[in-house]
A = this chain, B = another copy of it.
Amino acid sequence: MQLTREADYAVRCVLYLASAGGRPAAVGEIAEAQGMSAAFTAKILQKLVNAGIAASRRGVKGGFVLARPPAETTLLEVIEAVQGPLALNICVVDRKNCDRNSRCSVHPVWVEVQADMKKKLESYTFERLLNSSPR
């Protein structure tokens, strides 16, 4: 029931890129600023690129930038980019793990709680996060 370290780092990466305002940032720079290992950070940034959240440029003067303006990327997208789709319980995402005894009165609750979470995480764009007062 906990965010992985990877997801936490991913959010911090995007936050960093958002505050860099379009200037390409190299893995080393991002990792150092956030106190994360460079190799692991690189992996995470690759996932963000594959998800279309960040874009990369190779070679000298290369680095990472956001693929879209901060207002168009949400917390949920970033989390799902590295963790895969949010799933509170197996049965929510894979119904066949649920209906073994054909009636399960908790299933709708998992569905509801998960939908709430998604909605909330979706409501936070990185623009909103940047503008919110720190601490």
Contacts and interface: CB of A to CB of B under 8 A. Distances in A.
A8 interface: yes
Contact of A1 (B33, B83, B120): B83
A26 interface: no
Nearest to A80: B1
A39 interface: no
Given A100-B35, A117-B117, A109 B89 contact: no
A109 B110 CA distance: 21
Contacts of A79: 1
Q: Sorted from nearest, which 5 A-B pairs have the closest CB atoms?
A: A103-B134, A3-B89, A105-B129, A105-B132, A113-B120
A30 interface: no
Contacts of A133: 105
Identify whether the interface residues of A are mostly helix, strand, loop, or mixed: helix
A34 interface: yes
Contacts of A87: 1-2
Interface in A61-78: 75
A57 interface: no
Interface string A78-105: 0100010011111100000000111111
Nearest to A79: B1
Contacts of A121: 109, 113
